[in-house]
Structure 1
Amino acid sequence: MFDLRPCNEEGGLDLQKIQRVGEFLDLRQELWIKKEAVKRTGTRKKPISNQQISDDLLRELLKTPEEDRVEKKNDCFKKSALFKKSTLDYPDKEEILAVFEEIERLDNSLKELILEKAAIEPEKIAPQIILSDLAQEKTIEEPICRLIGEPARIMETARIHCEKSVKNDLVLPEETRNEETFWRPLKIKERFFPELSLKKRAISFAAAGFFALVIISGLSLAGRGITAKKNILSSAMDAYRLMMSGKDSASSLDFSLAQSNFQSAYQSFLRAEQELNKMGRSIIFVLERMPGGSVVASAGALVETGENLAQAGKSFSRIAGLFSLNDIGGYFSGNQPLTSKITSAKADIKTAKESLQKANAALIQVKNSDLPSSLVESVESLKQKLPIVAEAVNQVDVWSDVFLKFLGHEKAKKYLLIFQNNSEARPTGGFIGTYGVLDLDEGKIKNLFIDGVFDLDGQLVEKIVPPAPIQKISTAWSMHDANWFADFPSSAKKVSLFYEKAGGETVDGVISLTPTVMEKLLAATGPIEMPEYGAVLTSENFLDAIQYEVEIDYDKKLNDPKKILADFAPIFLDRLWRVWPDKSGEIISILSDSLSQKHILFYFSDDGLQEVFSGQNWTGEIIDADKDYLSVVNTNINGYKTDKVIDQKIYHRSNINENGEIIDLVKIVRTHLGGKSQYDWYNKVNADYMRVYVPFGSELLSAKGHTLEANQPPIDYAAQGFKTDYDIIAQESALKRHSSGTQIFSESGKTVFGNWVYASPGETVEIIYEYKLPFGLNLKESNSSYSLLVQKQSGAFECDFESELNLPAGVKIEWQYPETLKISGRQIKISTKLKSDNFMGVVLGR
């Protein structure tokens, strides 16, 4: 029933043993033979089974020449690169597919072999002899390092079965039985390595080959990705730098250069994208999630950043292309309206915004540890600056809507221009001697008219009582004196009202400029020749030359003293457009400074436009302040052009006592530097109605240095049928006089101290006010604070400003702004040029 024929060491039938087999076998008794383990080392000849021979044949058929060479050089155990930690040489895709085809062919051949083998009778020993011969050729050296009497452990999970020994154990004579022959029948079964048919082995090999292909390809691509990383990073950073250059060019309105930079940036990002695309997006997705895939993930995130930045750059390039005219004048006079270009750009602005948001989200995923050390700083800088760029683009989007409305995209706009001469100071800049009207339709200048203000005022029929100080020189109130309030929106409303009352059309806003703007722009454009007037206007002589022509050298018969300004405007604009490509940065800087220093002011009847410009501090408003506040406003009334030669210094001091009360002292020092000028209007007495604006509710303690002067109306206004202005009546009816003669009233939410101040040529005058603030500090609190907002008078020349804060004993400074504040003990000082509004603040503690 069982084939119990013994085999020799080579696996063949042992014919000698068969001849020695006895006739008795007792199967009833069982005995586990226990042997003391003895350590045995060395090697022995291990026979190869028939199944192994078949497997080896298959392996020999599939063996590559390289494997054959390596196998001959090393033994089976030591040849593996995995044990030697050497570099793996993986087959490519085509080689593996060829193996699969060979496996399929061998599978079919083996099927035929199995069928042929099944036809051989079990009793025949010829095949066994053939296999035995093969086994003799295929023996291998098997390492032995185990205890005799114990089974060898192939792996921890191996299941070991020992055959029971039987009394008279084997059918061998007693003298031939020994320990070695007893333990030879040990069988080892591994549950993780079951015996497989040849077909199943081929299929398993094919499956393993497939996964090997994926892993090998992935590792290969990962290697390529790591290699490409430097190229990707380099391209991305080059593109980023080009994009930032494009942004700078666009900021200076050099759109031709901006377009070139943005296009180059796009190409750089495109190269980075193509470099990573070589790896395959689906494989990258897998590799990112494998151990060590961080580098690939960072590279992918960086290129995703680049893709979106490239798209943003492409959008910027298209936008720049719309505005790449070298002649900026073409924006306002070209066939294509400027507003239509802005409208076209808005779609690209939206795309750029979305792309920058995606780029920022991707850039966050880039790990600095995956980057070359030389690029970490640049990428980190990009991470910090990209949100700023995104916000800037968002602002461009907002301002594009603002410009469309300002330029008259849907409805034509009419703006009243007022030229305020700051040599003759007035609350919002200077005396309005010249005005203009600007008509804009879809960005095109439809009309630009400039004229002297007295021609317009002569058309005013309605008689209105002027503010009391103005009555000293004018019986009636009109447009040239209408800028009476330090708050520009309030004055602009009065100016436009008088313009309409004099016969002008309703305007959409008021734009103010001082000669300071023109002087600075002439430095950029160069001299402007005016041959008709025998003059060459430069940044140094512009104001004097214009005043001379207007005051003295004008054509008395024509009686049009402002004609030179009307003739100058188109020539100047033409020159400005022509120098723009080379001087755009300088011109932009001049305009920006002029806005911050309040030499250019805007007022709009449209609440939306007004709010946007107000947010930029371009509207000359009196600003609300939480704590201390100061603004000194001069009004030249019959003082000629002498403010040009007045040197003014403002000193401010705040003393905080132990109870937290605050006493302020303000000293204004004015020195008249005229008297020897070739122009007589600089040699006159400076007559100034000075107003000092302080926190509402401040209590005046003392005032000195001013000139007392009573106001006497020039006529009986009621008898002459003059009308009163509501705002003036409201202000003057609440006016109070201090014992010093100082006028105290309210304006724009502030308490105002008003006095006359006169300074003759060569004279220095000092005006001092001391007052108590309407609020105090609770010094028992850990975070009490003091701050001061100082507002520069709109359109005024810069002046020196110093402020000093004195603290009581036991109080220390916890925080300060700005950091340039000078601290000495319990005293804090700041000194600056008052070119624009200034703010300082401290947080105090015990």
Structure 2
Amino acid sequence: MHSHKQNFIFKPPKRKLPEHLSFLGNVLVVSLRLLPYLFILFICLIVCLLIIVAAGVVPHYASLKNVYVEAQLGQQHMLTAEAQVREYEFAKAETELQLAKESFVEAQKSLAVVDDSFLMKSSYLRNQYDVASDVLFIGEELANSVNGLCVIGARAMDAVSDKNMSFEKIDATTKGELLAVLISSMNELKDVRRNIGIVGEKLREINTKQPLFIFDKVVDPLQAKIPQIEKAFDASLSFLRALPWLTGYPEEKTYLFILENNREMRPAGGFIGTYGIFQVANAEIKNFYTDNSYNLDVKVKDTQKIPAPKPMEKYMAQPNWFFRDSNWWPDWPTSAEKIAWFYDQEGGTEKLDGVIAITPTVIEQLLGFLGEFEIGGLKFNQQNFWEQLQYQVEYGYYKQGIDAADRKDIIGDLSREMIKRLYSYPISQWPALIDTISKSVKEKHILIYFFDPLAQSVSVENGWAGEVKPNPGDYVMLVDANLAALKTDSVMARTMVYNLHENKDGAVLAETRVNYQNMGTFTWKTTRYRSYTRLYVPEGSQLISVEAGGKVYKPEDVDTVNEFGKTSYAVFFEVEPQTSKEVVWKYQLPNSIVEQIKNGEYQLLVQKQPGIEKMNLQLNLNFSTEVRDLGVEEQLNALDISKKAKKQESKQIVKQATVLRQDQEYSVWFNAKK
């Protein structure tokens, strides 16, 4: 049953029935889209072979013609299968894929006839023949692999019976059957993943055979897409491993739910204004209760004497520590454990399986998918959600005569309506929802922590964990903690400039400059910005100086801490409304970074704080060694990222500008010194 108390959301969007049907459809479609490239390649192949015919291969004309005909048939069957997959008609797609496979096999047989031609004595022509044979093999393997996915998809659809069926119309027994199908499909998916890996190896082998330029237009796109499919399979397999914990199958699970207000930043995502408990079994929410966090803290405010972190005591005049402030670390696993501990200390009785947090940004994105809602005479949509809700829980409730303890009940009313509409959506409309959820996870607006070690390892693999990541190379993470600055993060803009250079003594010096712009005014929700800010850098770095607005901090005013395998330098500063302030950290990187550069490689991981929506990022990397190559590793497909960093004419400087919405990794490789 759903409690009237602030039924916030959101586990329903994460119910995995539609997600995995969506996954199967998406992977199938991506895979099938590769086949038109194969068809073009077959045409190029025939043109080349016809030229060879003029040199004396007329006896093989019939075989070559059959290669062309069978390749055409295979391509047509794949296109038909693609259309059927889009309609979730997996059984029909299976038939088409089997026919496609047979066509590719026949094409290979016909091509093999040319193998004994005298022209194959030429190593160059032999290579081209091998390339053509490899591509036909790839076509066969892709058809076979996608067919394996269709078998799983067909079993899943047999359980659901109708792609237009909504979540609310699927009974508990059917949900259990579907979950059993998905979980039991892991071994089959592993087999498909191995086959896709073989395809990837074949593509890499093609490059060693000096293929004709006409092959490049086909092979290059294939080589770009196959790794994407491999990653999709890896993510799916990891997800399936976590399915029992996420869906409560076969055993019911209980989670502590946290709403972090990222307009009032705290290290792990935002101020904890709302908490809740939800229980899930067989992908159904059995109970969902949420409440104002202050209602939990007020019960122990006179008896709980847990010392607050020193910055809270100093800058907020708050000597004691409570549940609402327990997410003090940017490492979500660490904060999640402390949140659960405080919940237990303040009266929580449930045996928890994990802690899941979201920010209001998630709600806004969901409203973009679900549309507008009217609750208690107030309209909520993607554009006005936060402003409307914030005013209601700060002032509107009082004008309506609502008790302060119940002022956030409107969230429960909204959540019930969102869940109701969500459950009424047919499965065929859920892929867009899955995209919305995935975006929130990638940008660390959804954080998941499991107490079970196996489940937690899966959370880390999938990028759900929000942990401070281990990294052997260079590292930067900016972490703000809004201390008594209302909701001023809603009007703050941040720009980080990271400068690096090697001095004449061989030391590597770093400078991180962060400009904070307060675009607000003095209102009921915004004021001067007050932040206790930590900069995490490689462990063993040596601080040179920190300054804010031109004022240099004394060493005793900089808090230096080693944690999470990093070193952090923390300072407190204020930014008045309609002004900006630049905070600058200068430090020397440890010798391990120096040695890596000497060994020909430099790596930089920039992590985004959970809850921050975006931050401008500029890199200026000045090396003493000539740069050979650059790489930008998109952490979970980061948005707004330029694909290639710029290498300057000096060949020793790398510059990059982007909007950081999620973790980003950079690699630089150097030429050997002469």
TM-score (norm 2): 0.75
Q: Does 1:435 align with 2:279?
A: no
Q: Distance in 2 between matches of 1:299 and 1:832?
A: 38
In the other structure, the counterpart of 1:340 is 177
Q: Distance in 2 between matches of 1:358 and 1:338?
A: 30
CA deviation profile, 1:318-368 (whole Å, cap 9, x unmatched): 33444554355338x623253431212445564465467679879999999
Amino acid at match of 1:430: G
Q: Does 1:668 align with 2:510?
A: no
Q: Distance in 2 between matches of 1:812 and 1:649?
A: 28
Secondary structure of the corresponding residue to residue 432 of structure 1: strand
**Number of paired residues?**
575
Describe how 1:71-470 pairs up with structure 2 within 5 A: 230=68, 232-243=70-81, 249=86, 257=87, 259-260=88-89, 262-271=90-99, 306=143, 309-310=146-147, 312-323=149-160, 324-330=162-168, 334-336=171-173, 338-347=175-184, 350-351=187-188, 354=191, 389=229, 392-393=232-233, 395-460=235-300, 461-470=303-312
For residues 827 and 641 of structure 1, do their structure 2 counterparts lie closer, same or farther at Cα, with a shift above 3 Å needed? Answer: same
Amino acid at match of 1:266: E
RMSD, aligned α-carbons = 4.2
Amino acid at match of 1:342: L
Q: Does 1:643 align with 2:489?
A: yes
Q: Could you say which structure has the higher helix fraction?
A: 2
Say whether the 8 Å CA contact 1:630–1:692 is kept in structure 2. Answer: yes
Structure 1 residue 536: Cα displacement: 0.4
CA deviation profile, 1:617-654 (whole Å, cap 9, x unmatched): 22111122223221111111111011101111112211
In the other structure, the counterpart of 2:331 is 487
CA deviation profile, 1:494-520 (whole Å, cap 9, x unmatched): 101111112211311111111111112
Q: Distance in 2 between matches of 1:779 and 1:741?
A: 32
In the other structure, the counterpart of 1:125 is none
Say whether the 8 Å CA contact 2:247–2:282 is kept in structure 1. Answer: yes
Structure 1 residue 377: Cα displacement: 7.5
Say whether the 8 Å CA contact 1:439–1:447 is kept in structure 2. Answer: yes
Say whether the 8 Å CA contact 2:279–2:287 is kept in structure 1. Answer: yes
For residues 263 and 377 of structure 1, do their structure 2 counterparts lie closer, same or farther at Cα, with a shift above 3 Å needed? Answer: farther
Say whether the 8 Å CA contact 2:532–2:573 is kept in structure 1. Answer: yes
Amino acid at match of 1:518: I
For residues 581 and 345 of structure 1, do their structure 2 counterparts lie closer, same or farther at Cα, with a shift above 3 Å needed? Answer: closer
Say whether the 8 Å CA contact 1:636–1:687 is kept in structure 2. Answer: yes
Describe how 1:14-93 pairs up with structure 2 within 5 A: none
- Alignment partner for residue 413 of structure 2, among 543, 557, 567? 567
In the other structure, the counterpart of 1:830 is 656
- Alignment partner for residue 378 of structure 2, among 532, 535, 543? 535
Q: Distance in 2 between matches of 1:481 and 1:616?
A: 27
Amino acid at match of 2:311: P
Q: Distance in 2 between matches of 1:768 and 1:706?
A: 9
In the other structure, the counterpart of 1:685 is 528
Q: Distance in 2 between matches of 1:246 and 1:397?
A: 24
Q: Of the two, which has the highest radius of gyration?
A: 1
CA deviation profile, 1:175-213 (whole Å, cap 9, x unmatched): xxxxxxxxxxxxxxxxxxxxxxxxxxxxxxxxxxxxxxx
For residues 455 and 309 of structure 1, do their structure 2 counterparts lie closer, same or farther at Cα, with a shift above 3 Å needed? Answer: closer
Q: Distance in 1 between matches of 2:306 and 2:513?
A: 36
CA deviation profile, 1:141-170 (whole Å, cap 9, x unmatched): xxxxxxxxxxxxxxxxxxxxxxxxxxxxxx
CA deviation profile, 1:704-732 (whole Å, cap 9, x unmatched): 227999xxxxxxxxxxxxxxxxxxxxxxx
Say whether the 8 Å CA contact 1:414–1:438 is kept in structure 2. Answer: yes
Q: Distance in 2 between matches of 1:839 and 1:563?
A: 42
- Alignment partner for residue 508 of structure 1, among 342, 353, 359? 353
Q: Distance in 2 between matches of 1:700 and 1:272?
A: 63
In the other structure, the counterpart of 1:595 is 441
Amino acid at match of 2:656: I
- Alignment partner for residue 599 of structure 2, among 763, 774, 783? 783
CA deviation profile, 1:120-141 (whole Å, cap 9, x unmatched): xxxxxxxxxxxxxxxxxxxxxx
For residues 485 and 271 of structure 1, do their structure 2 counterparts lie closer, same or farther at Cα, with a shift above 3 Å needed? Answer: closer
Secondary structure of the corresponding residue to residue 648 of structure 2: strand
CA deviation profile, 1:39-94 (whole Å, cap 9, x unmatched): xxxxxxxxxxxxxxxxxxxxxxxxxxxxxxxxxxxxxxxxxxxxxxxx9xxxxxxx
Q: Distance in 1 between matches of 2:628 and 2:559?
A: 39
Secondary structure of the corresponding residue to residue 434 of structure 2: helix
For residues 781 and 585 of structure 1, do their structure 2 counterparts lie closer, same or farther at Cα, with a shift above 3 Å needed? Answer: closer
Secondary structure of the corresponding residue to residue 416 of structure 1: strand
CA deviation profile, 1:402-432 (whole Å, cap 9, x unmatched): 2123222132111111111111110011100
Q: Distance in 2 between matches of 1:789 and 1:362?
A: 31
Q: Distance in 2 between matches of 1:788 and 1:239?
A: 46
Say whether the 8 Å CA contact 1:239–1:266 is kept in structure 2. Answer: no
Q: Distance in 2 between matches of 1:802 and 1:268?
A: 50
Describe how 1:714-753 pairs up with structure 2 within 5 A: 738-739=554-555, 741-753=557-569
Deviating more after overlay: 320-329 vs 601-610: 320-329
In the other structure, the counterpart of 2:388 is 545
Say whether the 8 Å CA contact 1:777–1:785 is kept in structure 2. Answer: no
Q: Distance in 1 between matches of 2:654 and 2:570?
A: 29
Say whether the 8 Å CA contact 1:744–1:751 is kept in structure 2. Answer: yes
In the other structure, the counterpart of 2:362 is 517
Q: Does 1:653 align with 2:491?
A: no
Structure 1 residue 795: Cα displacement: 0.5
In the other structure, the counterpart of 2:576 is 760
Q: Distance in 1 between matches of 2:102 and 2:653?
A: 63
In the other structure, the counterpart of 1:181 is none
- Alignment partner for residue 813 of structure 1, among 627, 639, 657? 627
Say whether the 8 Å CA contact 1:707–1:757 is kept in structure 2. Answer: no
Describe how 1:694-709 pairs up with structure 2 within 5 A: 694-705=537-548
Amino acid at match of 1:574: K
Say whether the 8 Å CA contact 1:707–1:756 is kept in structure 2. Answer: no
In the other structure, the counterpart of 1:619 is 465
Say whether the 8 Å CA contact 1:657–1:807 is kept in structure 2. Answer: no
Secondary structure of the corresponding residue to residue 525 of structure 2: helix
Q: Distance in 2 between matches of 1:596 and 1:272?
A: 36
Say whether the 8 Å CA contact 1:803–1:831 is kept in structure 2. Answer: yes
For residues 426 and 353 of structure 1, do their structure 2 counterparts lie closer, same or farther at Cα, with a shift above 3 Å needed? Answer: closer
Q: Distance in 2 between matches of 1:665 and 1:334?
A: 58
Q: Distance in 1 between matches of 2:219 and 2:569?
A: 56
Unaligned runs of 5+ in 1: 1-86, 88-218, 250-256, 710-736
For residues 649 and 535 of structure 1, do their structure 2 counterparts lie closer, same or farther at Cα, with a shift above 3 Å needed? Answer: same
For residues 272 and 231 of structure 1, do their structure 2 counterparts lie closer, same or farther at Cα, with a shift above 3 Å needed? Answer: farther
Say whether the 8 Å CA contact 2:508–2:594 is kept in structure 1. Answer: no
Amino acid at match of 1:426: R
Q: Distance in 1 between matches of 2:226 and 2:514?
A: 47
Residue identity over aligned pairs, in percent, reads 25
CA deviation profile, 1:97-141 (whole Å, cap 9, x unmatched): xxxxxxxxxxxxxxxxxxxxxxxxxxxxxxxxxxxxxxxxxxxxx
For residues 603 and 304 of structure 1, do their structure 2 counterparts lie closer, same or farther at Cα, with a shift above 3 Å needed? Answer: closer
CA deviation profile, 1:660-717 (whole Å, cap 9, x unmatched): 20122222211111117xx5212x22211111112222222222227999xxxxxxxx
Q: Distance in 1 between matches of 2:71 and 2:469?
A: 49
In the other structure, the counterpart of 2:55 is none
Q: Distance in 2 between matches of 1:467 and 1:619?
A: 24
Say whether the 8 Å CA contact 1:673–1:762 is kept in structure 2. Answer: yes
CA deviation profile, 1:430-483 (whole Å, cap 9, x unmatched): 100011111011221101111111111223454311111222243321110000
Secondary structure of the corresponding residue to residue 173 of structure 2: coil
Greater RCO, 1 or 2 (C-alpha within 8 Å, sep 6+): 2
For residues 835 and 551 of structure 1, do their structure 2 counterparts lie closer, same or farther at Cα, with a shift above 3 Å needed? Answer: same
